[in-house]
Amino acid sequence: MPAVEISLARSVQASPSFLASSVGRKVVMAVSGIILFGFVTVHMIGNLQVYMGAVPLNHYADFLQHMVHGAGIWVFRAVMLTAAGLHAWAAITLYFENLKARPMGYRAQQLEAASWASRTMPWTGLVLLAFIIFHILHFTTGTVHPDFVKGNAYHNFVTGLQVPLVAVFYIVAQLCLGFHMWHGVWSLTQTLGWSHPRYNLLRRRFAMVMAVLVAGVNISYPVAVLTGLIH
């Protein structure tokens, strides 16, 4: 075995636990981040069918509910819940460890250097957590929906977003999603070792384009309902 591999194997054996190390939890955050990033991108594209009318959107929602004889949605939910839980756990534990470890002066310097999106990651993350809980109670269970009709995703979509305060919350949450993704995609590509002078501009552009695209299209939904474009 080459010397580098031997020393790597020894350091992995010597470390108490991969998940207890900050590098391990950063990898957990990056991998779960990729899963969540993939989901929001696919979800944004799927929802575009609302612009084609009630039949395509309801057909799509029906397909999601019944794929693999109804088991698919539960597998999907289990994967999403695990990814979101691990992502939040790694983020929260790393955040508090960093607070404890860094003297104030160093933190102040870091804050100056960091971009606005990176400094607000804990806050945009918390808004997203609140949004996801509200969103499931809104469109999946109908608990906080003013006129929920089971099996009619198009009706629920339109009547749900016709409430101005709810539409504004959706817009604010999507802005937070955009900022969170912008820094998150940049950061996870760094964690996974894709930082290289040749690719850094590409990484930066990819993170920005995806964040603007996903947040922008998602914001178009409540705006389209509020302006009567979708009714």
In the complex, the residues that contact ligand HEM under the rule CB under 6 A are 40, 43, 47, 61, 64-65, 77, 80, 128, 132, 135-136, 139-140, 153, 157, 170, 174, 177, 218, 221-222
Shortest Cβ 229–ligand HEM spacing (Å): 13
Q: In terms of C-beta density within 10 A (0-12 exposed, 13-18 middle, 19 or more buried), how is residue 100 classed?
A: exposed
Q: Is the Cβ of residue 6 or residue 42 nearer to ligand HEM in the bound state?
A: 42
Q: Is the Cβ of residue 30 or residue 211 nearer to ligand HEM in the bound state?
A: 211
Instruction: Dig out the tokens for 102 from the structure.
Output: 């860094």
Shortest Cβ 110–ligand HEM spacing (Å): 27
Cα–Cα dist 83/36, whole Å: 7
Shortest Cβ 138–ligand HEM spacing (Å): 8
Q: Is the Cβ of residue 160 or residue 189 nearer to ligand HEM in the bound state?
A: 160
Shortest Cβ 179–ligand HEM spacing (Å): 13
Q: Mark residue 69 as left, alpha or beta (left: phi above 0; alpha: psi -120 to 50; beta: remaining).
A: left
Instruction: Dig out the tokens for 160 from the structure.
Output: 């749900």
Q: Residue 195 is inside which H or E element, if any? A: none
Q: Is the Cβ of residue 12 or residue 136 nearer to ligand HEM in the bound state?
A: 136
Shortest Cβ 40–ligand HEM spacing (Å): 5
Cα–Cα dist 161/227, whole Å: 11
Measured over the CA atoms of residue 92, residue 96, residue 102 and residue 107, the dihedral's sign is positive
